[in-house]
Chain A
């Protein structure tokens, strides 16, 4: 149990583009990597309009399910997989990462941990993008705790280049966003 009160969050605002995104941020592996896949999608608001000023971060295990603790995310050397990436959405609200499929411990469903920031969003949101068609999806603790009609919002779909994960901040098909114990937030 925490003893200190946390510093509250605030919106990332409209002007983060020269503070946070950086060259190579979205390439966890080079596009030519033999196991490279694309994880991409669109961020949408409550009216179904794209959100062009949002920022997505992903954090994942390597394909064997190992947690990576290697530095080098900000100046990628082309060889070191760090497990972390950052991508701003474009004018059409789209983001795109070049990465590899995450693994997980035996029997667990692998996923990308996702953080969403945007102008208009007063605090960051956490979510998960699960790898589709994995046998362990059926007994995943989080997925099975969700109403059936909302589970799908956390499962990526496949396309020719990899995986698609759209993020709906509000409204029909609203993505499930997560809160963890002890984070200073009592409610949405």
Chain B
């Protein structure tokens, strides 16, 4: 088989799944893990040399860290929230609306703040020179969008449902379909880059990036829900995904909160 040269260095899915199960068991036993991904998670091979070995150092935020950069209408055109209209033709795939609210840990809306997304096309291919997956590129789909949240923290993107794609973490590794999200809060310390997944994806159990969050409830917070109220008749289906940033350290004035 052609795959033999790779097989000598790459683990099998079964081996990686065993490692995922062991990490999950260690978490159940109370050894480690919390609401965030483990940074040291060997089933995700690229993390081995790229995670800090020393504990993160606890500190209180200084003034600059209790504020966040601010973005406005000059930064983002409203058209950038629609990833399906960036080219002359219609992109291939399942049209979807992805909408929700961005709030902080106390439920306060994160208003007028930047949200950026990027994703693969319907065939699971990114417009990126490093993406060697031989699935077709779509001349009508780039896969990057951004917007500014509304006063109530709400956001809404029009896009195409991305496909799952193979990667080289181990032999025959596949990522569950996902959309990358980048978010800002009211504080620098709330900065979040994450991935939104689709409900019921059969690849969840096999994916070391998703499973690096050892707490099942925390993992589930990355999965959008199908929402028929977000659909458009004869046009698109819809998914709702609400995002909770960490608590704010700002002293809020009464009329802001």
Contact = CB atoms under 8 A, between A and B. Distances in A.
Interface residues of B, number: 82
Interface in A107-153: 108, 111, 113, 115, 117-126, 141-142, 145-146, 150
A154 to B, nearest CB: 9
B47 A120 contact: yes
Contacts of B5: none
Contacts, number: 265
B75 A7 contact: no
Interface in A1-21: 1-20
A36 B58 CA distance: 32
B47 to A, nearest CB: 5
Nearest to A114: B188
A102 to B, nearest CB: 8
A7 B107 contact: no
The A interface, classified by DSSP as helix, strand, loop or mixed, is loop
A15 B131 contact: yes
Contact of B60 (A69, A121, A180): A180
A74 B144 CA distance: 14
A1 B104 CA distance: 11
A6 B59 contact: no
Contacts of B16: none
Contact of A180 (B36, B37, B120, B189): B189
B46 A120 contact: yes
Given A57-B191, A117-B193, 18 more contacts: A3-B107, A8-B221, A10-B195, A10-B210, A19-B116, A19-B180, A47-B49, A51-B50, A61-B63, A67-B64, A73-B69, A74-B75, A108-B62, A115-B191, A119-B46, A181-B60, A185-B34, A187-B34
Interface of A: 1-20, 45-47, 49, 51, 57, 59-61, 67, 69-75, 77, 82-84, 102, 105, 108, 111, 113, 115, 117-126, 141-142, 145-146, 150, 169-171, 174-188
